[in-house]
Amino acid sequence: MNRNDVTEKIVATKVAKGIAWAAVAEAIGQSKEWTTAACLGQMTFTAEQAKTLGALFELSAEEVKWLQVVPYKGSLPTQVPTDPLIYRFYELVNVYGTTFKALIHEEFGDGIMSAIDFSMDLTREPDPKGDRVKIVMSGKFLPYKTY
Protein backbone atom coordinates (compact mmCIF):
# COMPACT_ATOMS: atom_id res chain seq x y z
CA MET A 1 0.00 0.00 0.00
CA ASN A 2 1.11 3.58 -0.70
CA ARG A 3 -0.32 7.11 -0.74
CA ASN A 4 -1.54 6.71 -4.33
CA ASP A 5 -3.61 3.69 -3.29
CA VAL A 6 -5.24 5.77 -0.54
CA THR A 7 -5.92 8.62 -2.98
CA GLU A 8 -7.63 6.22 -5.39
CA LYS A 9 -9.76 4.83 -2.56
CA ILE A 10 -10.77 8.34 -1.44
CA VAL A 11 -11.83 9.29 -4.98
CA ALA A 12 -13.71 5.99 -5.49
CA THR A 13 -15.55 6.38 -2.17
CA LYS A 14 -16.32 10.03 -2.92
CA VAL A 15 -17.94 9.01 -6.20
CA ALA A 16 -19.79 6.06 -4.68
CA LYS A 17 -21.19 8.16 -1.82
CA GLY A 18 -21.76 11.31 -3.88
CA ILE A 19 -19.71 13.48 -1.52
CA ALA A 20 -18.72 17.01 -2.61
CA TRP A 21 -15.22 18.32 -1.93
CA ALA A 22 -16.78 21.30 -0.12
CA ALA A 23 -18.44 18.89 2.33
CA VAL A 24 -15.12 17.15 2.97
CA ALA A 25 -13.51 20.56 3.58
CA GLU A 26 -16.22 21.51 6.03
CA ALA A 27 -15.74 18.25 7.92
CA ILE A 28 -12.02 18.93 8.49
CA GLY A 29 -12.24 22.73 8.80
CA GLN A 30 -10.13 23.72 5.78
CA SER A 31 -10.79 25.40 2.42
CA LYS A 32 -12.24 23.30 -0.39
CA GLU A 33 -9.17 24.12 -2.50
CA TRP A 34 -6.60 22.92 0.06
CA THR A 35 -8.73 19.94 1.05
CA THR A 36 -9.16 18.79 -2.53
CA ALA A 37 -5.41 19.06 -3.17
CA ALA A 38 -4.74 17.12 0.04
CA CYS A 39 -7.27 14.39 -0.76
CA LEU A 40 -5.68 14.08 -4.20
CA GLY A 41 -2.35 13.36 -2.52
CA GLN A 42 -0.60 16.75 -2.59
CA MET A 43 -0.72 17.82 1.07
CA THR A 44 -0.25 16.30 4.53
CA PHE A 45 -3.17 15.93 6.96
CA THR A 46 -2.90 16.30 10.72
CA ALA A 47 -3.77 13.25 12.82
CA GLU A 48 -7.17 14.74 13.67
CA GLN A 49 -7.96 15.56 10.03
CA ALA A 50 -6.83 12.11 8.91
CA LYS A 51 -9.05 10.46 11.52
CA THR A 52 -12.06 12.48 10.30
CA LEU A 53 -11.29 11.49 6.71
CA GLY A 54 -10.88 7.88 7.79
CA ALA A 55 -14.44 7.85 9.07
CA LEU A 56 -15.82 9.73 6.07
CA PHE A 57 -14.11 7.55 3.45
CA GLU A 58 -14.12 4.27 5.42
CA LEU A 59 -10.31 4.05 5.57
CA SER A 60 -8.33 1.49 7.54
CA ALA A 61 -5.94 2.52 10.33
CA GLU A 62 -3.01 2.02 7.93
CA GLU A 63 -4.66 4.19 5.27
CA VAL A 64 -5.26 6.93 7.85
CA LYS A 65 -1.53 6.84 8.67
CA TRP A 66 -0.68 7.32 4.97
CA LEU A 67 -2.66 10.59 4.99
CA GLN A 68 -0.17 11.93 7.54
CA VAL A 69 2.95 11.15 5.49
CA VAL A 70 4.52 14.04 3.57
CA PRO A 71 3.75 13.27 -0.09
CA TYR A 72 5.87 13.49 -3.19
CA LYS A 73 4.38 16.64 -4.72
CA GLY A 74 3.47 17.02 -8.35
CA SER A 75 0.36 15.32 -9.61
CA LEU A 76 0.72 15.47 -13.37
CA PRO A 77 1.82 12.22 -15.00
CA THR A 78 3.26 13.76 -18.19
CA GLN A 79 5.36 16.78 -19.07
CA VAL A 80 2.64 18.30 -21.25
CA PRO A 81 -0.77 17.49 -19.75
CA THR A 82 -3.26 15.80 -22.03
CA ASP A 83 -6.41 16.44 -19.99
CA PRO A 84 -8.13 19.39 -21.75
CA LEU A 85 -8.88 21.36 -18.57
CA ILE A 86 -5.39 20.92 -17.11
CA TYR A 87 -3.86 21.64 -20.51
CA ARG A 88 -5.53 25.08 -20.47
CA PHE A 89 -3.55 25.94 -17.34
CA TYR A 90 -0.39 24.75 -19.08
CA GLU A 91 -1.38 26.91 -22.05
CA LEU A 92 -2.07 29.86 -19.72
CA VAL A 93 1.43 29.62 -18.25
CA ASN A 94 2.92 29.16 -21.73
CA VAL A 95 1.21 32.31 -22.99
CA TYR A 96 1.27 34.49 -19.87
CA GLY A 97 4.17 33.02 -17.86
CA THR A 98 6.68 35.56 -19.13
CA THR A 99 4.13 38.31 -18.40
CA PHE A 100 3.65 37.07 -14.83
CA LYS A 101 7.43 36.95 -14.42
CA ALA A 102 8.04 40.41 -15.90
CA LEU A 103 5.34 42.08 -13.83
CA ILE A 104 6.26 40.34 -10.57
CA HIS A 105 9.92 41.29 -11.02
CA GLU A 106 9.03 44.87 -11.96
CA GLU A 107 6.69 45.35 -9.01
CA PHE A 108 8.43 43.21 -6.35
CA GLY A 109 12.03 42.67 -7.47
CA ASP A 110 14.04 39.53 -8.12
CA GLY A 111 12.23 36.64 -6.46
CA ILE A 112 9.35 34.20 -6.72
CA MET A 113 5.74 33.75 -5.64
CA SER A 114 5.57 31.02 -3.03
CA ALA A 115 3.51 27.91 -3.65
CA ILE A 116 4.07 27.02 0.02
CA ASP A 117 2.84 30.21 1.71
CA PHE A 118 -0.08 30.22 -0.71
CA SER A 119 -3.86 30.34 -0.86
CA MET A 120 -6.38 29.88 -3.64
CA ASP A 121 -10.09 30.54 -4.01
CA LEU A 122 -12.16 29.10 -6.85
CA THR A 123 -15.66 30.45 -7.42
CA ARG A 124 -18.34 30.45 -10.08
CA GLU A 125 -19.29 33.82 -11.59
CA PRO A 126 -22.70 33.87 -13.26
CA ASP A 127 -22.58 35.54 -16.67
CA PRO A 128 -25.35 35.84 -19.28
CA LYS A 129 -22.88 34.71 -21.97
CA GLY A 130 -21.94 31.61 -19.96
CA ASP A 131 -20.73 31.18 -16.40
CA ARG A 132 -17.11 32.03 -15.71
CA VAL A 133 -14.50 30.33 -13.54
CA LYS A 134 -12.78 32.76 -11.16
CA ILE A 135 -9.55 31.63 -9.55
CA VAL A 136 -7.72 33.95 -7.15
CA MET A 137 -4.22 32.86 -6.16
CA SER A 138 -2.19 34.57 -3.47
CA GLY A 139 1.40 33.60 -2.72
CA LYS A 140 3.96 35.27 -0.51
CA PHE A 141 6.74 37.05 -2.41
CA LEU A 142 10.11 35.50 -1.62
CA PRO A 143 13.07 37.63 -2.73
CA TYR A 144 16.33 36.00 -3.75
CA LYS A 145 19.05 36.72 -1.20
CA THR A 146 22.62 37.75 -1.87
CA TYR A 147 25.41 36.20 0.18
- Please choose, from the candidates 65, 64, 56, 63, the residue with its C-alpha nearest in 3D space to the C-alpha of residue 16: 56
Q: Which residues contact 11 (CB under 8 A, 6 or more apart)?
A: 39, 40
**Cα–Cα distance, 126 to 98 (Å, whole number):** 30
Is residue 139 within 8 Å of 115, Cβ to Cβ?
Answer: yes
The pLDDT value recorded for residue 142 is 97
**Where in the sequence numbering do the catalytic residues fall?**
88, 91, 114
pLDDT in tens, the chain (147 residues): 999 999 999 999 999 999 999 999 999 999 999 999 999 999 999 999 999 999 999 999 999 999 999 998 887 777 888 999 999 999 999 989 989 999 999 999 999 999 999 999 999 999 999 999 999 999 999 999 988
The pLDDT value recorded for residue 35 is 97
